[in-house]
Amino acid sequence: MKKILIALIAAMSALAVARAQEQKPVPKDSVRVMVPGCSKNYVFTAGRAAEDQPGGAAVPEGMHLRMNAPKNMMAEIKGQEGSRIEITGLIKKGQVGQEGVEIGRGIRVSPGNSGPSAGFGGMSSPGSGQTMIDVEGWRHLPGECPR
């Protein structure tokens, strides 16, 4: 009886692990990306894609992403500051291809808002135009972040 109970518990835990590893379906307006780079607080800076990563990089090197993740996952990611990591998450399709002209690594000049919708004094609201990523997971990569 004890062996059957142990086998049943082992089978149930194996199913739970397999179910937890399944990825959620991607919404039609989003794309799942894996981005190597470095984090600082809630901002993730995309680094150079690994050579063994299939396909092109969906997120260009130097791009800054505002991370949105559960509190415990953000605590884990913040604990990795200074080390290279790779985050996996969902980005809205319209956010990946940014407007404007790239003038340097991770620096773009784009037209601003005008009129009453531009905000107080013609300034745009904080966080507008910033690319957001809903982080689903992360993993450690070899190497350190540049200072």
Mean pLDDT calculated for residue range 83-101: 80
Could you give the CA distance from residue 64 to residue 47 in angstroms, rounded to a whole number? 10
Contact 38, 140 (CB under 8 A): no
Query: What pLDDT, on the 0 to 100 scale, is given for residue 12?
Result: 59
The pLDDT tens digits of the residues spanning 109-131 come to 666 655 555 455 545 445 556 89
HEC profile of 18-68: HHHHCCCCCCCCEEEEEEEEEEECCEEEECCCCCCCCCCCCCCCCCEEEEE
Report residue 69's pLDDT band, with 50, 70 and 90 as the boundaries. very high
Task: Walk me through the domains of the chain, giving residue ranges and CATH numbers.
Answer: 25-144 (2.40.50)
Contact 89, 37 (CB under 8 A): no
Could you give the CA distance from residue 35 to residue 52 in angstroms, rounded to a whole number? 13
Mean pLDDT calculated for residue range 26-46: 92
Q: Give me the chain's average pLDDT, please.
A: 76
Closest CA to 133 of 73, 86, 65: 65
SS3 77: helix
